[in-house]
Chain A
Amino acid sequence: MATPGEQTVKDAHVGKKKKPPARYWQDDVEQTEQGLQHRGEKPQGKRKRKHEEHHTNEKNFISGKLDPFPGPAPVPEDRVQKFKRKEKTKKPPREHYKLRDIIIRSEEASEMAQKQAARFDLLLPEDAGFLEGDEDEDTCTISQEDIADAVDITSGAKYFNLKLSQFGPYRVDYSKTGRHLLLGGRRGHVACIDWQSKQLMCEINVMESVNDVKWLHSETMYAVAQKKWLYIYDSNGIELHCIRKFNDVLRMQFLPYHFLLATASATSFLQYLDVSVGKEVAAICTKTGRLDVMCQNPHNAIIHLGHPNGTVTLWSPNQKEALVKMLCHQGGVRSVTVDRTGIYMVTSGMDKKLKVYDIRAFKPLKSYFLPAGASSLSLSQRGLLSAATGDIVQVYRDVWSTPVTKPYMAHRVQGTVWGLHFCPFEDVLGVGHGEGFSSMLVPGAGEPNFDGLDANPYRSAKQRQEWEVKALLEKIQPELISLDPSELGQVDHATFQQRHQDRVQALGFDPLAEEKFVPKYKKKGRSSAGGVERRKRQVAHEDQRDVIRETVEDKMKVEKERKEKEKKKAALSGQTSALDRFKR
């Protein structure tokens, strides 16, 4: 009882020949050990071991203290729900043991993944806030200056105006990390700025009208849709490419995970450029006239186009016709935008209405009437909607869940708003207008937590390079773009014929087709037209003949068997009538 620890130690060291070096207390220890050995009863030792097992199971501490919070830390149910991926299937009543193993294992893994993700969600430290007015004070009456004064100096510095009245209304684009700003003036002025440090990276005038500007996958390259062609510049303002295949481009969208630059042109062409290999992936003639309304669905990389006849069409590079065509407005569509989760689409039209759609079900959710109509829309990462009406920029909160009667924020800029873009991971809305650019503070707009491996606003050049390589390796092929991104995980139900058809289409010829018989040319006049025909006739319908021959043979066989059977039967019956002799 006294030192059972020694006992176990003894067990552990059974068979060990090496002895520890002798110490000054050694003889004492020896003695005690001896004594213990004499005293140690075997059954007790056994019992001890059992105890040990029991206790390790219950995770007791050495001191014998009980864990006040046994088991793993609980994860809140709603957070677990957030990471859920589809339902698990019902277990079939009687399954193959292999199937059972597979199902159990996969369920286990996905459950673990879900739980772990939920647990690690704790590590996202930042929280989003919102602007709150005093009682009976509208948040939309709070001016930007007030906000800038109230917030800390770094955030306050994010409210600024650039006075660029010379080169006319500006289009705006933020890079994916939200660190860099690209401005494209209508009259040819293109500038890229590290807007947080207000450092000008480059500034050029392309001496042509600029329709749209867009960052490519990183802040080293950007595309400019100029009067005639599409150009690609690097961050120093050096022209890298002039892409003549893409002409009269009006709007552009960049699909970051596919490395695709989608362009919509005045000639009603929707074109896709793979910027990783510089190849045109698809060129689709939409046959719907001038395309100057465009946006992408970040969830499934589908391009949405708005048309003057009030329809919005959805496109993928894999199909020459629109995936979906929905009638949204009675007038033309002026602007379209889709939220980050790919659930909601917001459109504004000539009929001065603003509509919210559930883009998964293609059903309208909300409809608002804006007295002046919205010329351009933009959705932030956290679902704030900014709408530009004339020279006023309005920001709305929760347009889809609760009917909104007044904007969350409003701000007047100098000229007509021409481009709107929320900055990712920042509470900033960039507004390009006739008199330049203004960056306004919109509390609660940006996602507070960024994924360091995906879009890291604070990354160094080295990290960017690493990221670029990884992103290129993980590039998603354009064939995988479809309305339902989970379609890849489904089993193809197509029939063999359909698949064969697809194959023929992909290959350009039918691999299973039999080649036609061409008679050999014979010399010395033996290849006369009649002779050739005769030779052809010899092999004509060869396959059919085979089939016919086989079927005839089969039939004969069956007939023969039947007859034999009958004969046997007759013989067995043995009752022959007198008239049987006349039988044939």
Chain B
Amino acid sequence: MAKISKKKVSKKSLKKSTKAPDKVTAVVYDDEEDLNEADDNITSEEEDEEDDGGDERKRQKLLEAISALGGKRKKKLGERSEAAVHMSEFTVNAEGEGDKIDLAELIGTIEETPAVPARTKKQLKSLQQSKRTIECPLSKQESERIQRDVAFQKASAEASRWKGIIGQNQRAEQLIFPLNQEPSGPKPMERVVTGWKAQTPLELEVFALLSANKQPINDPILTPAEEASLKAMSLEEAKIRRAELQKARALQSYYEAKARRERKIKSKKFHKVQNKGKRKELIKQFEEMVKADPAAALEELNKIEMARMQERMSLKHQNSGKWAKSKAIMAKYDEGARKAMQQQLEVNKELTQKLVTSLNNEEEKEKEETGEAEVIPDFANDAEQGLDSSNPWMRGKLSEDLTDKEIMIVDLTAEEATANTAEKEEDEEKAEEVEETEQETLLREFDSRRKLRQAEEAKTGPEICVDDEVESKDEAEVLDASDKEEEELSKFTSLFRGLTDRHCDAENEQAEAAAVGSHMDAQLEEGLMRIRTLEDVELLIHKGSATDEAPAQPQLPPTTETLPSATLKEGKNRKRKRGIQLEEILTKETKVIQVQLTPTVEDTEDSNEKLDQRGLIKEAFAGDDVISDFLKDKRKQEEAGKPKVDELTLPGWGEWGGMGLKPSRNKRRRFRVKTAPAPPRKDQHLPSVIISEKRNSSISLHQVNSLPFPFENHAQFESTIRSPLGRTWNTERTVKKVTKPKVVTQLGAIIEPMAREELIKDKKQVSVGNKSSVDLGKRNY
């Protein structure tokens, strides 16, 4: 509806707008007609001055008749307005009375008069052409309002000059009144010295001597040499420097832009080529560096080695990603996929290849000999390998991963050998390596299993004392394992030698290993949830036996396989005996303390025998019910802490009620009020502790219970009140600073309102400060 109306309106307005120009034109025509008429009239007047009024009347009549014929009756006011020679009897009418005065008429005379300047004429002409009407002067109220506005703006501008200083004062930490006080107290040394002047003849003499030798007399003066050095950087120099800097910046930005552009290029090939080029160049540089600067080259070598290590550690190019997996599936059928995988492996190989330089050529030669003869990890080079201490995996006994080393050696040998054979060999080695690792895992798995079995035996064994609970024993064994592993290492190496012989056997074992692996995976998935909490406990236990462990730890080979398996195993144990967690924690591993002196007097702490008896009984049955009692207590507390479910069911409403009838379950459920579950208890993870969940209401009376104004969160507020203010905890100066009064007034002094000069002074200070800072900046060059 509204739309329609709008449309109408718009149409109307359109019509109007179309009408309006017509009207205007009509008006214009009218004017012209009138003008003509007027002219005619004037002429007729001039001519018919002597004619009588009869003609006039007739003509009037005729005109009226004609106008009546047109339909629209022109209403003319019969009004006497002007004195004229000829007056009609009936209607008094002035010539051109209903007509508008046109500017053109008035201007006409101006054109002729030479006294009017040309400029005015021009202005008038332009005025004539413009159709705008001149606005009428504003009313009194409006003009006054404008004046008021202007006055307000002026006043507010004046007032707002104070705004800055007011804000500053409001935010100031301390205000001191009256303003412009002379600072009391001891003056700084410099000021005192500068205020002093040489008076006695001796002093004058000294000063004369000093000045003669161009030595600085007062603090602020530099020696001429110093001044010269300060002046050393002239404006030109500064400009040059600035230009240089500018150029450097511009170049940098260009370079950055280029790099950004290049990085955005999606073409893999481009990047591949680029990377290759870069690498080559790097190697080239390195070669050069070897000749030029061996020390730097060594460093560079280390860096390269590091990169190689990282590459080896990372899963990049290892064909273990999603892409590689998909390709592996396709590889059976697709030549391209196979090739791509191969390529990636090659990339890996290339990246992990050890760089051969003249620096370590000799060592390599040695290695070659050994490597050629037999594939044995030589521990002889330990020290050399331990060179880069940044790698924690490289420290300790088993520092160089056997397999790694071997690969390295093999690689070297391969390089020496012809290309095609090398590749084959490497492939073989790779396969071997995989088998090795699998065997390793297998071995460790067996070992851990054996331990587990032992542990279980220990658990069942009757001879264990109360103190050594199972967990700690397990733990100890795990720790022992670290020691054992060293022994195993030697075993392992011998085993390793026979590895090639047992190649065929390995195949069978591989299958087993795979099975074990899957089993392990399953375990992993099971244990995943619990491991974290376990770690906490373990940490403590570790701490407990820290001394034992501490020396052993560095030697502990950081084999990734054993650690998870150990934790895994623990997790399993934990899971099995979850019900008796408490005992585990209660009976931590204990240290027996030897004392040289043995007590001769037995404890007679409880003097009365009855108590002693009871104590004895207690001791005899120690640990019997204590734990279960405690657990019961804890459970009870937990139950009590849970929110109660309110049942608002009324029996007999909406159904039959009576003896032996219970409201239906449906109904009960409907009227059950569910409450939000209680927040987790604080002692959730502490089985041997009950922490009361009751609110301490007595302290809440003293606490701040709503956040004060500018703060946005509790942490902010708490951090601002975290340090104490009192003299007990702070030094005197701190206390004075912390408890500074907001406003300091001098007793008896008149505090004048701030004068306008203050404002100006403040500004000046600011400007001076800026200048001085600029100066300082210059100095610093």
Residues on A close to B: CB < 8 A?
1-6, 8-9, 12, 23, 25, 28-29, 32, 48-57, 60-62, 64, 85-89, 92, 95-99, 101-103, 105-107, 109-110, 112-114, 116-117, 119-120, 138, 140-141, 186, 308-311, 316, 318-319, 321-328, 330-332, 334, 350-351, 353-355, 362-373, 375, 389-392, 394, 402-407, 410, 412, 415-416, 434, 453-454, 474, 479-480, 482, 487-494, 498-499, 501-502, 505-506, 572-575
* CB-based nearest A residue for B592: A369
CB<8 Å pairs between A and B, sample of 26: A2-B208, A5-B207, A28-B204, A64-B216, A64-B222, A87-B719, A89-B719, A113-B731, A113-B734, A308-B615, A310-B622, A322-B692, A326-B688, A330-B626, A330-B627, A350-B615, A365-B540, A368-B590, A370-B593, A404-B593, A407-B593, A453-B728, A487-B696, A487-B699, A491-B703, A574-B1
- The stretch from B192-200, B505-513, B555-563 touching chain A is B192-200
- The stretch from B78-86, B496-504, B706-714 touching chain A is B706-714
Q: A86-B719, A332-B618 are in contact. Are A309 and B603 (CB under 8 A)?
A: no
Of residues B596, B598, B698, B705, which shows the largest number of chain A Cβ atoms within 10 Å of its Cβ?
A: B698
A5 and B197 contact, CB distance less than 8 A:
yes
The interface residues of chain A lying within 8 Å CB-to-CB of B69 are none
B19 lies within 8 A of chain A by Cβ = no
Q: A85-B722, A404-B591, A416-B601 are in contact. Are A330 and B586 (CB under 8 A)?
A: yes
The complex places the Cα of A143 from the Cα of B773 at a distance, in Å, of 71
The interface residues of chain A lying within 8 Å CB-to-CB of B775 are 50, 54
A323: min CB distance to chain B, Å: 5
A309: min CB distance to chain B, Å: 5
Q: A109-B723, A489-B721 are in contact. Are A327 and B626 (CB under 8 A)?
A: yes
The complex places the Cα of A583 from the Cα of B179 at a distance, in Å, of 83
Which residues 688-734 of B sit at the A interface, judged by CB distance below 8 A? 688-692, 694-707, 709-712, 714-724, 728-731, 733-734
Q: A52-B220, A363-B686 are in contact. Are A334 and B605 (CB under 8 A)?
A: yes
The complex places the Cα of A113 from the Cα of B211 at a distance, in Å, of 47
Besides the contacts A102-B710, A103-B716, A479-B698, what 18 more A-B pairs have beta carbons closer than 8 Å? Answer: A1-B211, A4-B220, A51-B220, A64-B216, A116-B730, A321-B694, A330-B466, A330-B626, A332-B615, A362-B689, A364-B588, A368-B592, A369-B591, A392-B598, A403-B545, A405-B594, A491-B705, A492-B703
B241 lies within 8 A of chain A by Cβ = no
B738 and A113 contact, CB distance less than 8 A:
yes
The interface residues of chain A lying within 8 Å CB-to-CB of B710 are 96, 98-99, 102
The interface residues of chain A lying within 8 Å CB-to-CB of B731 are 113, 116-117, 119-120
Q: A99-B710, A488-B702, A573-B1 are in contact. Are A390 and B220 (CB under 8 A)?
A: no
Q: A49-B220, A64-B216, A368-B590 are in contact. Are A390 and B196 (CB under 8 A)?
A: no
The interface residues of chain B lying within 8 Å CB-to-CB of A324 are 689-692
* CB-based nearest B residue for A406: B594
The interface residues of chain B lying within 8 Å CB-to-CB of A8 are 194, 218, 220
B201 lies within 8 A of chain A by Cβ = yes
Of residues B196, B615, B622, B714, which shows the largest number of chain A Cβ atoms within 10 Å of its Cβ?
A: B622
The complex places the Cα of A502 from the Cα of B633 at a distance, in Å, of 27
The complex places the Cα of A412 from the Cα of B597 at a distance, in Å, of 8
B722 and A110 contact, CB distance less than 8 A:
yes
A499 and B705 contact, CB distance less than 8 A:
yes
B623 and A12 contact, CB distance less than 8 A:
no
The interface residues of chain A lying within 8 Å CB-to-CB of B706 are 491
The interface residues of chain B lying within 8 Å CB-to-CB of A50 are 772, 775
A480 and B544 contact, CB distance less than 8 A:
no
B600 and A327 contact, CB distance less than 8 A:
no
The complex places the Cα of A487 from the Cα of B719 at a distance, in Å, of 13
The complex places the Cα of A316 from the Cα of B716 at a distance, in Å, of 29
B692 and A319 contact, CB distance less than 8 A:
yes
B543 lies within 8 A of chain A by Cβ = yes
The complex places the Cα of A331 from the Cα of B625 at a distance, in Å, of 10
A320: min CB distance to chain B, Å: 9
A2 and B211 contact, CB distance less than 8 A:
yes
The interface residues of chain B lying within 8 Å CB-to-CB of A334 are 605
A200: min CB distance to chain B, Å: 28
* CB-based nearest A residue for B687: A327
The complex places the Cα of A29 from the Cα of B696 at a distance, in Å, of 81
The complex places the Cα of A184 from the Cα of B545 at a distance, in Å, of 41
B772 and A372 contact, CB distance less than 8 A:
no
The interface residues of chain A lying within 8 Å CB-to-CB of B474 are none
B767: min CB distance to chain A, Å: 15
The secondary-structure label for the interface of chain A is mixed
* CB-based nearest B residue for A86: B722
Which residues 190-245 of B sit at the A interface, judged by CB distance below 8 A? 190, 193-201, 204, 207-208, 211-212, 214, 216-223
B501: min CB distance to chain A, Å: 47
B595 lies within 8 A of chain A by Cβ = yes
The interface residues of chain A lying within 8 Å CB-to-CB of B701 are 479, 502, 506
B467 lies within 8 A of chain A by Cβ = yes
The interface residues of chain A lying within 8 Å CB-to-CB of B222 are 51, 64
B588 and A367 contact, CB distance less than 8 A:
yes
* CB-based nearest B residue for A487: B699
The 5 A-B pairs with the shortest beta carbon distances in the complex, nearest first, are A390-B599, A52-B220, A330-B623, A2-B211, A99-B710
* CB-based nearest A residue for B219: A62
The complex places the Cα of A8 from the Cα of B607 at a distance, in Å, of 91
B726: min CB distance to chain A, Å: 8
* CB-based nearest A residue for B623: A330
Residues on B close to A: CB < 8 A?
1-2, 171, 173, 188-190, 193-201, 204, 207-208, 211-212, 214, 216-223, 466-467, 540, 543-547, 582, 585-605, 607, 614-615, 618-619, 622-623, 626-627, 629-630, 633, 683, 686, 688-692, 694-707, 709-712, 714-724, 728-731, 733-734, 737-738, 772, 775-776, 779
The complex places the Cα of A8 from the Cα of B197 at a distance, in Å, of 10
B617: min CB distance to chain A, Å: 11
* CB-based nearest A residue for B588: A367
The complex places the Cα of A54 from the Cα of B771 at a distance, in Å, of 12
Q: A89-B719, A113-B723, A479-B702 are in contact. Are A416 and B218 (CB under 8 A)?
A: no
The interface residues of chain A lying within 8 Å CB-to-CB of B207 are 2-3, 5
A576: min CB distance to chain B, Å: 11
The interface residues of chain A lying within 8 Å CB-to-CB of B2 are 572
The interface residues of chain B lying within 8 Å CB-to-CB of A25 are 199-201, 204
B535: min CB distance to chain A, Å: 14
Q: A4-B218, A5-B194 are in contact. Are A362 and B691 (CB under 8 A)?
A: yes
A9 and B705 contact, CB distance less than 8 A:
no
A489 and B718 contact, CB distance less than 8 A:
yes
B542: min CB distance to chain A, Å: 11
B716 and A331 contact, CB distance less than 8 A:
no
Q: Which listed residue, A113, A186, A572, touches B1 by the CB 8 Å rule?
A: A572
Of residues A32, A85, A89, A406, which shows the largest number of chain B Cβ atoms within 10 Å of its Cβ?
A: A89
Q: Which listed residue, A97, A319, A410, touches B595 by the CB 8 Å rule?
A: A410
Q: A390-B600, A480-B699 are in contact. Are A369 and B593 (CB under 8 A)?
A: yes
B718 and A319 contact, CB distance less than 8 A:
no
The complex places the Cα of A97 from the Cα of B738 at a distance, in Å, of 20
B52: min CB distance to chain A, Å: 68
The complex places the Cα of A137 from the Cα of B251 at a distance, in Å, of 73
* CB-based nearest A residue for B197: A9
* CB-based nearest A residue for B733: A116
The complex places the Cα of A487 from the Cα of B582 at a distance, in Å, of 30
Q: A322-B692, A491-B707 are in contact. Are A402 and B546 (CB under 8 A)?
A: yes
The complex places the Cα of A501 from the Cα of B701 at a distance, in Å, of 12
The interface residues of chain A lying within 8 Å CB-to-CB of B720 are 102-103, 106
The complex places the Cα of A435 from the Cα of B458 at a distance, in Å, of 47
Q: A9-B196, A50-B772, A62-B218 are in contact. Are A325 and B689 (CB under 8 A)?
A: yes
The interface residues of chain B lying within 8 Å CB-to-CB of A106 are 719-721, 723
The complex places the Cα of A371 from the Cα of B211 at a distance, in Å, of 88
The complex places the Cα of A499 from the Cα of B692 at a distance, in Å, of 19
B107: min CB distance to chain A, Å: 55
* CB-based nearest B residue for A50: B775
